Amino acid sequence: MQSKILVSACLMGHAVRYDGRAKPLLHPAIERWRAEGRLVTICPEMSAGMPVPRPPAEIADAAAGEEVLAGTARVVELTGGDVTGEFLHAAENAVALARQTGCRYALLIDGSPSCGSGFIYDGTFSGRRRPGSGVTAAALKAAGIEVFSDREIERLIERIAS
């Protein structure tokens, strides 16, 4: 059976981002995988009941998703709300869906406090990046799913072909 790929809903053109927009990834491989029935789409944050639009959120204190999973860091909104519980729920939903559907890979948009896998923001809402994973990406990696950012789609294509 062909291996499936969990994919961020906003990359698939769904307007689910905090700002009510999508960020579609236009690549021929996406169309091919879609036609092959390989793609499993999820917006982890929406699956946890978060609304669209919603306040921007970052992992506080320059921490990363692994620390949120370990209970040593929080996710906060620009407006001051603590959304750590929602982000943990979102990550659980993504891992559960990946397991149910047999996804070995994930293709997630970079920079998000949920889906980021190469970089995230440092918690100051000033646009400063730091290397690291969001909460969902960290949970998927811990569950043995190979995670690729949208900037790494060529690497995913090679990985699937190998």
Q: Select from 25, 60, 63, 115 the one that contacts ligand SF4 (CB under 6 A).
A: 115
Instruction: List the one residue out of 129, 127, 131, 50 whose CA is nearest residue 87.
Output: 50
43 backbone φψ class: left, alpha, beta (φ>0; ψ -120 to 50)? beta
H/E stretch holding 5: strand 4-8
Nearer to ligand SF4, 15 or 160 (CB): 15
Q: Looking at 19-97, which runs of residues are DSSP E strands?
A: 39-42, 57-59, 75-77
Nearer to ligand SF4, 121 or 162 (CB): 121
Q: Is 44 in the site for ligand SF4 (CB under 6 A)?
A: yes
Least gap, CB of 93 to ligand SF4 (angstroms):
10
Least gap, CB of 112 to ligand SF4 (angstroms):
4
Q: Select from 112, 117, 133, 149 the one that contacts ligand SF4 (CB under 6 A).
A: 112
Three-state secondary structure call for residue 82 = strand
Interface segment toward ligand SF4; rule CB under 6 A; list 40-48, 99-107, 138-146, 147-155:
40-48
Instruction: List the one residue out of 53, 69, 61 whose CA is nearest residue 114.
Output: 69
152 backbone φψ class: left, alpha, beta (φ>0; ψ -120 to 50)? alpha
- Rounded to whole angstroms, the Cα distance separating 86 from 102 reads 24
Please give the structure tokens belonging to residue 119. 């970089």
Residues 47-106, interacting with ligand SF4 (CB under 6 A): none
Q: Is 17 in the site for ligand SF4 (CB under 6 A)?
A: yes
Interface segment toward ligand SF4; rule CB under 6 A; list 41-49, 69-77, 97-105, 150-158:
41-49
Q: Is 38 in the site for ligand SF4 (CB under 6 A)?
A: no
Binding site for ligand SF4 (CB under 6 A): 8-10, 16-17, 43-45, 109, 112, 114-115
